[in-house]
Chain A
């Protein structure tokens, strides 16, 4: 355990540690202060982190080949190389060449700058297509916010790092920054598109990027500012009475830990149930619950499938906005999308 903690002082510690174990039954008096000293040294000057390519047996060609194989994808070697080449790396290379006195050859179209917007477009189109297909009742505002989350720097860099691309990227920054990982992920998607086609790319996006929402509550990604007013708008669209709030239950009303439960009723039928520390908050939560049930994203309704194979060439129509949302129009839209996919 000790050796793992202090790799730079391995030999020193091994000698002392083994010595003390051999001669005595217990640890030597010097052992505790020594460990303290070593720990102090490590805090002052932590061991440097080296890039994997500084190791002896690093073989970039083999790593590139196995990267695609690991993911189960067929990459064109040249395109993959280009997708992993950042402009910052080329600039650094040019400067070094100039310093040595070598004539600089033009390096256009060798880096991944031109691939990034194209990859982003493919990613965005398919993400929207898939989300609109699996959540046909969810308003367009919500779909857009889920898409924004999936295409954010945080998510894409997380995925890119964990598929093992960070060591293969040729860039100046080390450890690789999130923005670099983010842009490389988009370039990789374009490279895959050019190598294996759109269908294969869409499956890749589905498996690696869309699955990131599996552990999230998608309702948290889209914050409805005023759920009560939103629910009223929808009721007006549906041409039914406005929901009537009623206190369904409460406990400890006179304490600071008071709880109220409010139910929303239309024609004596419960449409939403919420709880909270005050009647106002419980009412808001009940409206929020009713909206979740309408949009098909309540806890008991939500079971997102990640194994659908959709035709990525279809151009998806945006879902209904909150202001136009009503049951009749949603059903029409679902019929349309079903007929398109067949």
Chain B
């Protein structure tokens, strides 16, 4: 194999490092997208038997969002293996214990039951906040677009922005705002 062919192969099968910001994102929906990147399914060369998956670094897993009452009603099952060993943990309880665990379990279950699953999971790097070690940060060359647009909360608007915001109507002069 010539040097040219070798580097072409190297370039084609290189592992790309992606960054994903989990702020205000539903982990169940994100898991599907992140799974595609972990398995390399977005590549034209993809084949289940070719090792072409990428790395994904997920930050801010502490800030994930569940719709409706999911924080209360979503339960994570665990069994110790002994009699009466079953336990059900609420999502909010689990999130208090480890803020990366809900995201991890979501991706793990979306990857499908096969022998490659645990090796694919090793390419997922989860961080509760924005603090990522510098050596990992240097590898990253791409950012995955968030699934949902992150809305701005009212407290992030400055006073000037609030004042210049277009109003639909003016209050009458004698109206008293309490």
Q: List residues of chain A with CB under 8 Å of any chain B CB.
A: 217, 219-220, 223, 249-255, 257, 259, 261, 274-277, 281-282, 284-285, 288
Q: Could you write out 6 A-B pairs with CB less than 8 Å apart?
A: A251-B15, A251-B17, A259-B10, A275-B8, A275-B11, A284-B3
A153 to B55, CA, bound (A): 49
B55 partner residues in chain A, CB cutoff 8 A: 252
Closest chain-B Cβ to A266's Cβ sits at a distance in Å of: 21
Query: Contact partner of A285 among B3, B16, B135, CB < 8 A?
Result: B3
Chain A binding surface, main DSSP class: mixed
Please determine whether A252 and B15 come into contact, CB atoms closer than 8 angstroms. yes
Judged by a CB distance under 8 angstroms, whether B69 is at the interface is no
- A255 to B10 CA separation, bound complex (whole angstroms): 14
Which single residue of chain B is at the shortest CB-CB distance from A288? B4
Cα of A136 to Cα of B10 in the assembled complex, Å: 32
Tell me which residues across on chain A come within 8 A of B14, comparing CB atoms: 251-252, 257, 259
Residues of A within 8 A of B7 (CB): 274-277, 281-282, 285
Knowing A220-B4, A282-B7 are in contact, say whether A249-B139 is a contact too (CB < 8 A). no
Chain B: interface size category? 10 to 19
Instruction: Give the distance to chain B from A99, nearest Cβ to Cβ, in Å.
Output: 54
The answer to the question of B163 belonging to the interface, with a C-beta cut-off of 8 Å to chain A, is: no
Question: Residue B141 at the A interface, CB < 8 A?
Answer: yes
> Which of B4, B15, B135, B141 contacts A219, CB < 8 Å?
B4
Q: Is the CB of B141 within 8 A of A251?
A: yes
Q: B2 at interface (Cβ–Cβ under 8 A)?
A: yes
- Please tell me if B138 contacts chain A, counting CB pairs below 8 Å: yes
A-B pairs with the 5 shortest C-beta distances?
A275-B11, A259-B14, A251-B141, A220-B2, A276-B7
Measured CB to CB, the closest approach of chain B to A129, in angstroms, equals 27
Which residues on A sit within 8 Å (CB–CB) of B138?
A: 253-254
C-alpha spacing A284/B7, complex, angstroms = 11
Residues in A with CB closer than 8 Å to B139 are 251-255
7 extra interface residue pairs, beta carbon distance < 8 Å, beyond A217-B2, A220-B5: A217-B4, A220-B4, A251-B141, A254-B139, A255-B139, A274-B7, A276-B7
Complex alpha-carbon distance, A219 and B4, angstroms: 9
Q: Which residues of A contact B4 (CB under 8 A)?
A: 217, 219-220, 285, 288
Tell me the smallest distance from the CB of A263 to a CB of chain B, in Å. Answer: 13
What chain B residues lie within 8 Å of A281 (beta carbons)? 3, 7
With contacts A220-B2, A285-B3 taken as known, whether A255 is within 8 angstroms of B141 at the C-beta atoms is: no
Given contacts A217-B2, A252-B55, contact A257 B11 (CB under 8 A): no
Contact B135–A261 (Cβ < 8 Å): no
**Would you give the shortest CB distance from B70 to chain A, in whole angstroms?**
35
In Å, the complex CA distance between A191 and B92 comes to 90
- For residue A255, which residue of chain B has the nearest CB? B139
Q: How far is the CA of A112 from the CA of B141 in the complex (A)?
A: 66
A residues near B17, Cβ cutoff 8 Å: 251-252
